[in-house]
Amino acid sequence: MRSDLIKEGLERTPHRALLKGTGIPESELKKPFIGVATSFTDLIPGHVGMRDLERFIEKGIHTGGGYAFFFGIPGICDGIAMGHKGMHYSLPSRELIADLVESVAEAHRLDGLVLLTNCDKITPGMLMAAARLDIPSIVVTAGPMLAGRGPADRRYSFVTDTFEAMARYKAGVIDEQQLKVCEDNACPGMGSCQGLFTANTMAILTETLGMSLPRCGTALAVSALKRRIAFASGERIVELVRDNVTPRQILTRAAFENAIRVDLALGGSTNTVLHLLAIAHDAGVDLPLATFDQLARETPQLAAMNPAGRHFMEDLDAAGGVLGVLKQLGAKVKDNPTVMGLTTRQLAGGIEAVDEEVIRPLTNPVKPEGGIAVLSGNLAPQGAVVKQSGVAPAMMRYEGTARCFDSEELAMAAIMEGRIKPGDVVVIRYEGPKGGPGMREMLAPTAAIMGLGLGESVALITDGRFSGGTHGPCIGHVSPEAAEGGMIALVEDGDRIRLDIPARQLELLVEESTLAERRGRWVAPLPKITTGWLARYAQVVTSAGTGAVTTAD
């Protein structure tokens, strides 16, 4: 065992003394040492229930014959970090999380890992670490929140209802009392936000990749089932250690293609493009951005999930969950190992019935193509991403007039002050991985556009990214970003921009000679943040087109 390096032999007498200082009995030193990386925090609804799950994971580890050691991992709530300096830290925290898990596991020679996670950047950070370390690992996602309940049995979703409610109140569509009812009911308790936003999409994809036990991706945070999954995961990690089943045996190219297909079939968050690329990078799997679009053209959208549809995570879980989606995808799913010990197809074959009102069959899809499209063209030569499942048919092809803003705050002020009109294309730049730094989510401006009723007459383009709650004609991840001198930096107010999602095109309709003149006078802006670790992050982070990973190159 790896842990023998800190507990076997004369030279390890000091190490054993320190271990005994933790309270470990002599009898337990021969057992596999299992690290439980827990992202429990009182700051995030998706994580406040983890103390309970920690108990069940620990029981499972000891039942399985291992010894559990807990260590803490930080978590950031994107909703709370939204709209201020805090959002700069969200995506970069993914790299910190991966580095911290790697550091503890290597320094203490842990034999295996249970990764207890839930929200947006924490889950991919944990998976990156597992792929990088390649020691037996299993992921437990803490589960989605129940839908909020309001008058007339209305169901609330935190992301779509609260952010869009601000704009509806501003526009006079709802009054202060209605706004308060939304605020009070949108988050009824623990769990990740109720729709198919980034946290829940990543939980689903973690199960699809084979790194979580069945039902883990959709089982509700408040359920007894989630406790049982936590216990079973604790037991199973000891077996994985004994059988030396490691993440890279599971995180194959086939696993990533399956995850992309499930994401496309459900119409999940565009953030998963960044995260799957980053996880594949650490797993040593070649996964070009173009793969997402190739699979999107042959993978129909089978579900209409909130925010672009009416179904919530609780509906998806009851309908069959991840395995229900895999069953409906049928032969499109590639067979691949999982931490359960059964293959992907074996698990999907065990599902007897799927609620086809929620997860439709291939013969009756919601839309003929998957939920995410990758665009290119002179405005995004290295790619851009749109959640096409959330775009109205009238906006799939659109030409408008550029309104340029060099930060999210400037754009948000213009939107809320009524300066954005039908026919505009809002361009938000210098918000990419380097320029942000940290590639902030643009949920507030996109939600404001939708809340003001402009979702079918205004488009938004950014080198930043979007929340999983974003819907409408919102194009993110424009690469190269403005801070690197990408074409988005050269756009000026009044330029015409053409969006053609079916043709996968994003074009700036300006003469080449004019663009060459603009490039000649473009000067890279000074960094927005010059102190702390974000300044270092900006120097080493790659573009969105490669997952915004940090490299030593």
Active site residues: 467
Establish how many alpha carbons lie within 13 A of residue 477's alpha carbon, considering only the half-sphere containing its beta carbon. 30
Q: Which two tokens stand for residue 41?
A: 């925090």
Q: What is the DSSP letter of 151?
A: G
| Phi, psi at 177, each rounded to 5° | -65, -45
String of DSSP letters for 44-103:
-TTTTTHHHHHHHHHHHHHHHT-EEEEEE-----HHHHTTSGGGGGHHHHHHHHHHHHHH
Distance CA 85, CA 87 (A): 6
String of DSSP letters for 509-539:
---HHHHHHHHHH--PPPPS--SHHHHHHHH
Q: How many CB atoms lie within 10 A of CB 174?
A: 17
6 and 108 Cβ atoms separated by less than 8 Å: yes
Q: Which residues is 402 bridged to in the sheet?
A: 425
256 and 209 Cβ atoms separated by less than 8 Å: yes
Phi-psi category of residue 547: left, alpha or beta, with phi > 0 → left and psi -120 to 50 → alpha: left
501 and 404 Cβ atoms separated by less than 8 Å: no
